């Protein structure tokens, strides 16, 4: 369990959900993990759990919409550990029901873009000087969304913002790869977490399960395992990639579920 031994990792939005799953697996693989978000009590609980399991972590306040808190996070991490090897841009405003184009206000649009694109961009911008200094290098992992894979009936701002994260990933990989900085994006499918399990309608679960290639929904650890690989030296030749971790949801044509209901392979 030493795939990340000696590495320092920041996981934004790691006080709940997917971020917790990533942080715990990083710590189990030997990384020193910075837990950050707005909720100190929940963040400290994650730290305590990691430490009790033999790992190393500390909590740092961060609001992805407040650039000063991002600056402070990076500076304090380097002051404590001397470097930053891994940044996971996980913090975001999940606006899956933000609406159609005609329903969205500019305020709604701006709020989603501020956290999901602006925040991810600024955290990346802030960590680059530390990773490129003396070509130390590092791995930046952006958490995207399957919402960016195609048009949908709603969640317009969220989907557009996550599509921006896809392109930010590729631009960062291209521009800083020669300085030993890799950047990849993980697109989760339907991830059921302890926090959202009670709020995901059964009808939605049924729709997804009928289209997923495997026999279950995703969990935070599914995303965490992919992030461990992308953070480790095992993926040294992997950069600029947008990886779907969605149980195969986006690997087939969109009519498969309906043909299954008809017990037919084709029309």
Name the 3-class secondary structure at 147: helix
- Per the CB < 8 A criterion, the answer to whether 223 and 186 are in contact is yes
Sign of CA pseudo-dihedral 141, 65, 221, 251: negative
The catalytically annotated residue of 130, 158, 229, 237 is: 158
Is 217 among the catalytic positions?
no
Sign of CA pseudo-dihedral 146, 158, 220, 119: positive
* Strands annotated E in 15-66: 32-37, 56-61
How far apart, in whole angstroms, are the C-alpha atoms of residue 169 and residue 184? 6
Q: At what angle do helices 220-231 and 17-28 cross, to 10 degrees?
A: 50
How far apart, in whole angstroms, are the C-alpha atoms of residue 118 and residue 141? 16
Compute CA distances 262 → 62, 202, 203, whole Å: 50, 22, 19
- Per the CB < 8 A criterion, the answer to whether 213 and 156 are in contact is no
Where in the sequence numbering do the catalytic residues fall? 158
């Amino acid at each position: 369990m030493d795939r990340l031994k000696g590495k320092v990792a920041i996981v934004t939005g790691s006080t709940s959900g997917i971020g917790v799953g990533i942080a715990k697996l990083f710590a189990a693989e030997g990384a020193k993990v910075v837990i950050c978000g707005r909720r100190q009590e929940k963040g400290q609980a994650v730290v305590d759990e990691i430490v009790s399991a033999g790992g190393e972590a500390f909590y740092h306040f961060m609001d992805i919409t407040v650039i000063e808190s991002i600056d402070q996070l990076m500076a304090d991490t380097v002051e404590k550990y001397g470097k930053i090897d891994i940044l996971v841009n996980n913090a975001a405003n999940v606006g899956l029901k933000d609406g159609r184009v005609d329903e969205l206000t500019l305020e709604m649009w701006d709020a989603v873009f501020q956290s999901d694109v602006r925040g991810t961009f600024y955290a990346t911008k802030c960590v680059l000087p530390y990773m490129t200094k003396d070509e130390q290098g590092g791995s930046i992992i952006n958490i995207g969304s399957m919402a960016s894979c195609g048009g949908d009936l709603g969640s317009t701002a969220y989907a557009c913002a996550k599509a921006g994260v896809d392109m930010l990933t590729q631009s960062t990989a291209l521009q800083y790869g020669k300085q030993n900085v890799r950047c990849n994006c993980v697109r989760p499918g339907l991830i059921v977490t302890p926090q959202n399990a009670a709020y995901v309608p059964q009808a939605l679960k049924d729709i997804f399960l009928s289209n997923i290639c495997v026999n279950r929904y995703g969990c935070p650890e599914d995303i965490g395992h992919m992030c461990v690989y992308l953070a480790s030296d095992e993926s040294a030749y992997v950069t600029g990639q947008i990886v779907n971790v969605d149980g195969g949801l986006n690997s087939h044509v969109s009519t498969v579920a309906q043909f299954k209901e008809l017990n037919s392979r084709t029309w």
